[in-house]
Amino acid sequence: MKKPLILAVDDDPQVLAAITRDLRQEFRQHYRLLPVGSGPEALATLDALRARAEPLALVLADQRMPEVEGVEVLTRARELFPEAKRVLLTAYADTTAAIRAINSAQLDYYLLKPWDPPEQLFYPTLRDLLASWQATYRPAYDGLRLLGYQWSPRSHALKDFLSGYLVGYQWLDFEQDAEARTLLAATGFSAQELPVVIYRDGQAVAQPERQELARHLGLLAAARQELYDVVIVGAGPAGLAAAVYGASEGLRTLLIERQTPGGQAGSSSRIENYLGFPTGLSGSELTHRAWTQATRLGAELMAPQEVTSLAVQDGYKLLTLSDGSQVRARAVVLTMGVSYRTLQAPGLARLSGAGVYYGAARTEARSCRAQPVFVVGGGNSAGQAAMYLSGFASRVYIVIRGGSLAASMSAYLIEQLTQTPNVEILPYTQVCEACGESSLEAVVVQAEGQESVCYPARALFIFIGTRPSTEWISSLALCDPKGFLLTGRELLADSRFAQAWLEPREPHLLETSIPGLFAAGDGRSGAMARVASAVGEGSMAIKFVHQYLGE
């Protein structure tokens, strides 16, 4: 953490050197000293310190300076750093002006020059002032900041991205936080250019693209090797498990993720039925552990990057990425998983990212404090989101088409929900409309055989149905009618298999209709929608990769 600053201002170089010497002798262990040689320079320095959110503890300014007097410097310091202590340095003849300044500029003290010896005439006063400042000082946040509008889809997308990669950041709502407006003015950007990201080094970027943000955060943007033993597409639980086992077994392993790691599991607020964690863990925590483990073992993780097509050339797999670059591999494991289906009702598309969210309960929960929210869906992801939101929202409504949650949700979650007083389940109900101008204000729902009802709502979180993320590969590898990848023995039952499979052997258990192309996790036909089974399939896929490479 940065040491707080003491700013000393005097236009006389000899006097400034003496002040700096005395300050350094007594306070350098706990404070940084910043000498400035003129009033205008001091004003510019104060603006720069405020823009960088530097902690300023004390300002000492000489009164008699050309262009800008000491009182003006201290007045500006009070505007930008109201908690900082302000001391005017003055000669005996200027004491009347100093006394007046105590009232007009609300100075904390004035000191007469010279102050020899400083042990008696200088240090005691400054020690008292600094002790008073320290008593109320709260270190400012010095990490990445995100300035924006709470109900802006662009702001939501950036929050979701940063949260997905477990990047610590401070969110500042431009409409609610005065600090956000001050910081934005210091960056030189306008309100129309929000959202703005301010990095730890002070660099500010307006409306950054995900790739630009990823590069600044140190994420891998391009492949480092010409040929990999295995490339894994998708960093959900299955993909992360495959990366861990592939790297640990000596394979040159690359994992490519187009959005954020963890997949649907990564957005889960609490997973309580995963083996080995009796008190449960969040999806982001599980993702972070697996990501760290894979990296430590030598896997390369490229993100955010999307694979747009795959071709087979002489047995090698050639993957083309969204930026036009290509990656070559001997084998590929597809672990793209699934994505939530969009809900069709008036107003939902228009308010997406502005109160209507697909997943994202952890990202936006704090914005719903003491407000009613709706969760649509009856699966475990919906239940986990509802439990998490119940700690923030005044009331959580779970909207389901069926009569109960028993058919699609784990028993432990149902029990928790029924015991939570501010959670209400609305059975046989569907969302008819989302209402609001710039953000969600109300939700219209209708139960079977009843009139529609309009509820006030701050947010609507949607967790309905899933579809496989296989659009880009379905023309090459065989899929079932719903788009899930066929593998292993399921291929043998498909009439198209005889024309697609040209190898003398049967396909391996998790192998698709393309030799050396494997599938694991929720995007595979017949897979179980559970974190543990996805991890198991990702691990198994590496065993079959080894068998394929050894043929």
Q: How does pLDDT run across 118-177, given as a tens digit for each residue?
A: 888 888 889 989 998 888 887 767 789 999 999 999 999 999 888 888 788 899 999 988
Q: Is the pLDDT of residue 102 over 90?
A: no
Say if residues 392 and 369 touch (Cβ distance below 8 Å). Answer: yes
- Predicted pLDDT of residue 307: 95
**Residues 56, 77: contact at Cβ < 8 Å?**
yes
pLDDT for res 319: 96
The residue among 235, 349, 210, 222 whose CA lies nearest residue 293 is: 235
SS3 of the chain: helix, strand, coil, percent, to 5: 35, 25, 40
pLDDT digits (tens, 9 = 90+) for 325-367: 999 999 999 999 888 888 999 999 999 999 999 876 778 888 8
Q: Residue 107 has what pLDDT?
A: 80
Q: Which residues face 454 on adjacent strands?
A: 444
pLDDT of residue 260: 86
Gap between the Cα atoms of 177 and 260, Å rounded: 28
- Tell me, what amino acid is at 147? L
d(CA 13, CA 503): 85
Q: What is the distance between the alpha carbons of residues 196 and 145, in angstroms, rounded to a whole number?
A: 8
Contact predicate 423/390, CB 8 Å? yes
What domains are defined for the chain? 5-136 (3.40.50.2300), 144-216 (3.40.30.10), 227-339+467-549 (3.50.50.60), 356-464 (3.50.50.60)
Upstream peptide bond of 114 is cis (omega within 30 degrees of 0): yes
507 or 281: which leads in pLDDT: 507
pLDDT digits (tens, 9 = 90+) for 500-519: 788 889 999 999 999 999 99
List, in order, residues 6 or more apart from 42 with CB less than 8 Å away: 7, 9, 36, 61, 68, 73
**pLDDT, position 335:** 96
Q: Evaluate if residue 93 carries a pLDDT over 60.
A: no
pLDDT of residue 91 exceeding 80: no
Q: What is the mean pLDDT of residues 274-293?
A: 85
Whether residue 464 contacts residue 341, with contact meaning beta carbons closer than 8 Å, is answered with yes
pLDDT in tens, 62-82: 888 888 888 889 989 988 998
Closest of 95, 127, 94, 108 to residue 22, by C-alpha: 127
Give yes or no for residue 1 having a pLDDT over 70. no
Contact 222, 300 (CB under 8 A): no
Tokens 């600094």 sit at which residue?
130
Q: What is the pLDDT of residue 103?
A: 65
Q: What is the structure's pLDDT at 23?
A: 92
Q: Tell me what pLDDT residue 202 has.
A: 83
Q: How far is CA 6 from CA 78, 119, 137, 243, in A?
A: 14, 18, 14, 50
Range name among 134-138, 249-253, 353-357, 429-433 with the lowest pLDDT average: 134-138
Please tell me what DSSP assigns to residue 356.
E
Contact 468, 233 (CB under 8 A): no
At 532-547, the pLDDT tens digits run: 999 999 999 999 999 9
pLDDT for residue 465: 73
- 196-198 vs 326-334, strand pairing mode: unpaired
324 C-beta neighbours (distance < 10 Å), count: 7
Instruction: Round to whole Å and give the CA distance between 51 and 47.
Output: 6
CB 286 within 8 A of CB 273: no
The residue assigned the tokens 């959110």 is 53
Main-chain phi, psi angles of 538, to 5 degrees: -60, -40
Q: Report which listed range, 44-58, 101-115, 355-369, 438-452, is most confident.
A: 438-452
Question: What percent of the chain shows pLDDT beyond 70?
Answer: 97
What pLDDT band is residue 104 in, cutting at 50, 70 and 90? low
Q: What pLDDT, on a 0 to 100 scale, did the predictor assign at position 105? A: 63
Sequence letter at residue 127: R
β-sheet bridge partners, residue 444: 433, 454
Q: For 292, how many CA atoms within 13 A lie in the half-sphere containing its CB?
A: 7
Structure tokens at 275: 């083996």
Give residue 122's pLDDT: 86
- Kindly indicate the confidence band of residue 381, based on its pLDDT and cuts at 50, 70 and 90: confident
8-state DSSP, 451: -
H helix runs in 342-482, sequence order: 361-364, 380-389, 411-418
Whether the upstream peptide bond of residue 195 has omega within 30° of 0, thus cis, is: yes
CA atoms within 13 A on the CB side of 190: 1
Token output for 466: 């899933």
Question: Given pLDDT bands bounded at 50, 70 and 90, which one contains residue 413?
Answer: very high
**Is-contact 286 237, C-beta < 8 A?**
yes
> In degrees, to the nearest 5, what angle opens at C-alpha 350 toward C-alphas 374 and 409?
30
Q: Which two tokens stand for residue 431?
A: 């969302």
Alpha-carbon gap, residue 93 to 466, rounded angstroms = 80
Q: What is the mean pLDDT of the chain?
A: 90
Angstrom CA distances, 228 to 171, 254, 258, 326, stand at: 39, 7, 19, 12
pTM attached to this predicted model: 0.74
Distances (CA, A) of 44 to 37, 68, 293: 12, 12, 47
Residue 3, pLDDT > 70, answer: yes
CB of 456 within 8 A of CB of 442? Answer: yes
211-240: pLDDT as tens digits: 888 888 888 878 899 999 999 999 999 999
Sequence-distant (≥ 6) Cβ neighbours of residue 448 within 8 angstroms: 428, 429
Asked if 84 contacts 109 with a C-beta cutoff of 8 angstroms, the reply is no
